[in-house]
Structure formats: C-alpha cells, structure tokens
Structure 1
C-alpha cells in the first residue's frame, strides 16, 4: 500500500520571504522530490483559534497540516502546533531554548558546555560593579542574524547605548579572545552536516555574519571540537539548527548561540552540501516513523 502523502506548512514572516526566496525554493523542491506536499504560508496570514472546537490553525483555504516547518522565529507557534498534534520542526522545546539567548546559555552551561561569562541583566543594574571590564558586549536576548549586538569600548559607548532607551532585557558578555571570528556548525537530526568559519576584516566589528560584510570558508572540525558539539546534540533533539561558537586565544571553542531559523548562504557558498535536501530527507524519515 502506498503511504499517505504528508502535507506541511513552511512558515515565514513576510519580511523574510523575499530575502530567503532561493532557500525557500530549495526546500519546496526537496519536498516535491519526496512527494511531500509543502506550502509556503506567511506568518501574518495565519489565524489561531485558541478556543472552541474548530481546527486551531487556518490560513485561507489551505489544507490543515500534518507538520509545520516554522522559520518565523515564534516558538509559541511550535508549541501551539504540538498542542494540536502537529509535528513542528524544530520541536517547541528546541525553538524556545534557541530563540532566547538567556535560556540557551543557562541550558548548555548546566551541561558543561564552555562559554564566556554571561549575565542576563536590565539597564538599571548595569553598574561598574555589575558588568565586565571594558570592552564588553551587550546583546538583545532575542536578536538573530547578528542584530542587537553592541560593542561597548568605553564609558562613552555605554552612556550612548543607555541614552537610546534600548531593550530593557540585556545579555552582557566580555569580548572573546578572537573578536570578529566565529564558527557556525550546521546540525540536522542531531548530526553535523558541515561547519563554516566566518571572519570580519574590521577591527571595530565583532559580528562575522555575511550580512555585515564578513567572509567565510569551509572549516574542518577536529575531534575535540566534535566532542564538544556532541555535548550539545546529546542534550536535546535538534531537527535543523546552526550552532555558533567563538574562539578563545588558544583556538578552542566557546559556545555563542543557537540559531533556530538558521541562515545557510555561507554553507552553499563554500560546500556541495544541499542542506535543504538533507533536511527534507530527515523530515520524511521522521514523518514515516510517526
């Protein structure tokens, strides 16, 4: 008997659809190749029936989904899907942990993952006795893709930052041993699929994202680095994510963050890995086991 075709929603916010158009096409093509019906659904067009007996999710005349690939950076949507019996990629637990840097660091610190000294703090508590020495980094706990990162060189920078009335919820860290250089490791189904080293040539720029002018190249992980990554992958189910690391002065890795809706441009630029195809192969396997 031929298996029943699975139907899923690929959820993006409208602002992200245009700049992710090529990757969206790759995901849709990979699904079609496996006879999985996958529809692009703008986050803003979804309706959530919180109460009543009707189907909780609607989007025009779209068919009710068996699964959801949520790349809208809204973990509660993953949770609501799971409440309704819909398989969410990533799971709601992974999405919730990944999309709040405070939770990410707290979760992995308890599992012995090396990381910079990190504090969740409000601007009012950012006193000389309660912060790292200059220079240090202030981050938006909900920032992604290099957004919400502020390099604080001195008191003037700090006062300027505070005067702008920025986020009331902050993450504060010292500057790593090798600022402007990081490593992104791509994970599908808890397995390493590739790693990309990203660097910036600017002495004033901490972020090595391609969107901020960084360069990238494929990186070969050594056994010690793989073992360090395995602590993370053994601690939770990761359907598809990027794990970012900073470098200490001795070249060893420091955990930086986990990207739920990870950008994949640098991996396509530097390798033959079709991560969209790898991911949909994994999705197919998970759905066939349900």
Structure 2
C-alpha cells in the first residue's frame, strides 16, 4: 500500500516531528508513506490531506485520489460561518455568529476572519473605533462577529477519528489573553466527555463524514459548552501532551482498515 501525507511547504517544516511519527507507524503497517508538498506525480492508494486548501483537495479527488479528510470537510471546517450554520441545523449549542457586514452584537465583541485558524485573526473589540480599524484591514464579507463570552479563556478540544472520540483536552489561555490555544502558550489537561457531549460530537462527525478532526467548544462561566470551531487539519500537540498513545498509529490503522474494506 502506498500513500502520501500532504502539507504546504511551510506547514511541513513546522510539523516535521508528526510527519516522522506518521512515516514510522506507516512502515510498521507495511505502508509506504511519502511527504507531498505539491501535486502528486504518480498513483497513490490514499492521501492524508493536511493542508487548509479545499480547492486543491477537490482537484485531487476529481483526479481519482482518496483523501482523508475529504474536500467537503475542509470546506466546512475552514469557514467559521458554515460551521455555525451546520451546528444550527444539527441542534448543537453554538456561539451566536453573524456576518460582520450584516449584523454586530453589542461590544465587547469578537471579530474573526472566516478562514483563520490557530488563534490567528481573532480580535476582541471593546469599542467602535477598534471595530472600524479592523474593517479597514479586512473585507467585511470575510469576517464574522460573535458576542464576547466569558469563559476564563478556557475551552475543550475534542479529537474525532471517524465517529470515535480519540481524546479530549481542556485548554486554558495565559492570564493576559482571552485565547486558549496551546500553541499560543496556554496549558492543557485531559478532559472526559459526558454522554450528552459525546453524542453531540458524534452527530457532527457523522453529518460531515469526517475522518480526523478537532471540534472546539467554549466553556462559558455559567456552565455548559458552546461549539466554536471545527479544525481540519487539527494539530495533535495537546493530545500527545495529555494522552499516552500515538495519534499517528491510530490514524494510520484507521486509514488502512477503510481501504481494505
């Protein structure tokens, strides 16, 4: 069996440790796994697609390649407005989300680009002046607006492998930030889902037919949780930090099982 893991060149350099882990586990399973940073030049049994580019993913699918995740997963996960619309249809509790060119909640509010990731292009605004400054920097049609929800900079990321909960982590941001991202200096701890939470994340993964994604939920101060984002590709650093299994091994077993059906 021959496959490839596809990254942009910049992300391949940043994720070299995970790529090495994937290639080691692939070898253990009898899979030849190469790194791709451009269009493949030969037939492959599968491509583990780790780029944020639905157009490239769709082109590869149209050329006959089997992708994990599919381009349609990318289209939803990399568009925060579409994520909100999906959650609303599925009845999942979600952070209220508006197109910034159509409606703004009261300040303080959060403005985000629809395609940002990793805590980038997320801005907490306390005044109309701050909002106007961001509108001068970004196309309003590419921004979403959300009310600021007090969560003590805490959220939960759930890692899904198909409809299986691979693991979950509770993330807490630095004291001077409202963002909880681990890569921005936050802390993480293992988190256990209750039955209702497990049902909700399985509903999401089933609806979009995902393979390997992260689903992020804010933890409001008054309790409960609210869907905030879906991450594809999702980084596994916080999962490795809190769990004692190889994400790469489980992911490649999953791929091999589905290709052998």
In structure 2, the partner of 1:102 is 81
What is the alpha-carbon distance in structure 2 between the residues aligned to residue 236 and residue 273 of structure 1? 26
| Runs (5+) with no aligned partner, structure 1 | 1-5, 47-56
What is the alpha-carbon distance in structure 2 between the residues aligned to residue 182 and residue 227 of structure 1? 18
Residues 1:216 and 2:195 are matched in the alignment: no
What is the alpha-carbon distance in structure 2 between the residues aligned to residue 200 and residue 215 of structure 1? 6
Residues 1:243 and 2:222 are matched in the alignment: no
In structure 1, the partner of 2:70 is 91
Aligned pairs (5 A) from 1:193-204: 193-203=166-176
Residues 1:182 and 2:155 are matched in the alignment: yes
Q: 1:68 aligns with which of 47, 53, 62?
A: 47
**Alignment check: 8 A CA contact 2:108 2:147 kept:** yes
Q: 1:38 aligns with which of 33, 38, 46?
A: 33
Q: 1:207 aligns with which of 160, 179, 192?
A: 179
Shift of 1:213: 1.4
Residues 1:151 and 2:124 are matched in the alignment: yes
Shift of 1:65: 1.5
Structure 1 residues 240-260: Cα deviation after superposition (integer angstroms, max 9, x where no partner)? 010111012332110011111
What is the alpha-carbon distance in structure 1 between the residues aligned to residue 74 and residue 133 of structure 2? 33
Q: 1:256 aligns with which of 228, 237, 249?
A: 228
CA spacing shift, 1:157–1:179, aligned 2, 3 Å: farther
What is the alpha-carbon distance in structure 2 between the residues aligned to residue 189 and residue 247 of structure 1? 24
**Number of residue equivalences:** 260
Shift of 1:179: 4.4
In structure 2, the partner of 1:282 is 254
Please give the TM-score of this superposition, normalised by the length of structure 1: 0.85
In structure 2, the partner of 1:233 is 205
**Alignment check: 8 A CA contact 2:3 2:33 kept:** yes
| Runs (5+) with no aligned partner, structure 2 | none
In structure 1, the partner of 2:19 is 24
Q: 2:104 aligns with which of 123, 127, 131?
A: 131
Q: SS of 2:233's equivalent?
A: coil
Shift of 1:148: 0.9
Q: SS of 1:234's equivalent?
A: helix
What is the alpha-carbon distance in structure 2 between the residues aligned to residue 220 and residue 37 of structure 1? 35
What is the alpha-carbon distance in structure 1 between the residues aligned to residue 21 and residue 109 of structure 2? 39
Shift of 1:92: 1.8
What is the alpha-carbon distance in structure 2 between the residues aligned to residue 29 and residue 162 of structure 1? 46
What is the alpha-carbon distance in structure 1 between the residues aligned to residue 234 and residue 201 of structure 2? 17
What is the alpha-carbon distance in structure 2 between the residues aligned to residue 66 and residue 227 of structure 1? 32
Q: SS of 1:24's equivalent?
A: helix
Structure 1 residues 149-170: Cα deviation after superposition (integer angstroms, max 9, x where no partner)? 011122232233234x224410
Between 1:81-90 and 1:274-283, the stretch displaced more is 81-90
In structure 2, the partner of 1:51 is none
What is the alpha-carbon distance in structure 1 between the residues aligned to residue 86 and residue 18 of structure 2? 30
What is the alpha-carbon distance in structure 2 between the residues aligned to residue 42 and residue 81 of structure 1? 13
In structure 1, the partner of 2:96 is 117
What is the alpha-carbon distance in structure 1 between the residues aligned to residue 183 and residue 191 of structure 2? 19
